[in-house]
Structure 1
Amino acid sequence: MELTQIRLLVTDFPAVYRFYRDVLGLTPQFEAEQGPYAKLSPPQGGAAIALQRREQVAALLPDAAELPGDGVRALIALRVDDLDAACAELTRRGGTIAQGPAPMGDRLRVAYLRDPEGNVVELQEWRALSRPESA
């Protein structure tokens, strides 16, 4: 089994597409701002994020059209080299940092923002573990 993508089922396709392309800076495999489907990848490679119009999937799975309350529907984690610089750049591009940057345990610093449909994007800066000094 191989993970090929994370797919978000969205209602306002153009707004969500522009967020991932313009704010987060992901590269579309093909231009599809109006949908119904798009796949975008980070510049350094790695797992892709796909977007698909919710009503298209609802034709196959009727309950897919229903939003589960006001809760989080998805979280996408993206690794960055410099969290502070990434947050500043995403803010410049129109994103709003909802929380952070802040440490998460010993290994990560994180910040959070939401796409136009409320899906959470977690930015991660991985830190090296500090090693105790030898005596």
Structure 2
Amino acid sequence: MEFAQVRLLVTDFRGCYRFYRQVLGLDPQFEAPDGPYAKFSFDGGSAGLALQERAQLAEVLGELGTAPDGYRSLVVLRVDDLDGCCAEIIGRGAVLVHGPAAMTDRMRVAHLKDPDGNIVELQQWLELRETV
């Protein structure tokens, strides 16, 4: 397992994108000022900070809604074998709330919660995105 990102779930994507891009001066991996997703890496590494429209993830998980007092972030871990990893962690007591399933044509994901209710996303990349 490899740490991939902390993802902030936002309702004002354009405002947040502008804040992290222009105010804090972070460079996005690809231009996406209108969303619904953007990732900012640090020092050219693969791990970073990402933004995602809350409504988009709510379509996948259903329970998030669009209220700003709901989930605000999630931890993303990258795995090489999503099905194998899920079988292993279920065997150790994890309960998946979604997946494994395709998120895009390049990525499969599964979601679970830690004991405090924080969302963890496991992701397996099928094809990498070209960076800017």
TM score, norm. by length of structure 2: 0.48
User: Greater relative contact order (Cα 8 A, min sep 6): structure 1 or 2?
Assistant: 2
Q: Which has the larger radius of gyration?
A: 1
